Amino acid sequence: MSSNYPKCVVFDLDYTLWPLWIDTHVTPPFRASKNNPQVILDRYGTDISFYKNVTDILQQLKDAQVKLCIASRTHAPKFAYQVLNLMRVPIDGELQPASKFFTNIKAFPATKIDHFEQLHKETGISYKDMLFFDDEGRNRVVESLGVTFCLVPDGLNRASFEEGIRKWQKNRK
């Protein structure tokens, strides 16, 4: 089954995995909600959590031994890391920091080409074995490297995930 998946799936963060801009919409310090460890609250009590299907999709890919990475152009990488480390989500049936899903996290202001060149170097995985989900059409530039790009204007969900996988399978042929 795992050959039906790319070797590596890369996700943008803002408006792809969660519905906000981490560098402008929220303010530290961050803390986990007492009622739900999957929800992080900022200084003013604003909620930060993944879109509904994200954790299940990440687990499904992890089960298929797909490498999971992040490529974010955020101007607040520190906040992104803090939130991903504080947020506890079920991974292999146990609540763990969401950051544990990802082997390589690229979060800094640069082009997505820069992010992918680094990911390729670090993982040794060829661009054609990579699938990228992002909510912004301009980040389609990674297609010039050979990466499959899937636009997710409403964030990652079941339908957009399956669309991305189908697109990658088609490109591979």
Least separation in angstroms between residue 92's CB and Mg ion is 27
3-class secondary structure, 109: coil
CB closer to Mg ion, 12 vs 129 = 12
Q: Is 27 exposed, middle or buried (0-12, 13-18, 19+ CB in 10 A)?
A: exposed
Give me the least distance between CB of 72 and Mg ion, in Å please.
7
**Residue 12 among the catalytic residues:** yes
Instruction: State which residue has the least CB distance to Mg ion.
Output: 14
Query: How many CA atoms lie within 13 Å of 38's alpha carbon, on the beta-carbon side?
Result: 15
Q: How far is the CB of 12 from Mg ion (least distance, A)?
A: 4
Nearer to Mg ion, 18 or 127 (CB): 18
**How far, in Å, CA of 26 to CA of 58, rounded?**
24
Active-site position among 12, 42, 129, 134:
12
Query: Residue 129 or residue 135: which is nearer to Mg ion going by CB?
Result: 135
| In contact, 54 and 156? CB cutoff 8 Å | yes
Task: Give yes or no for a contact between 91 and 100, defined as CB atoms under 8 angstroms apart.
Answer: yes
Minimum CB distance to Mg ion, residue 134 (Å):
6
Which residues of the chain form contacts with Mg ion (CB under 5 A)? 12, 14-15, 135
Q: Confirm whether 129 is a catalytic residue.
A: no
119 phi and psi angles, rounded to 5 deg:
-60, -40
Pick 28 or 153: Cβ nearer Mg ion: 153
Task: Give the residue numbers annotated as catalytic, written as ranges.
Answer: 12, 14
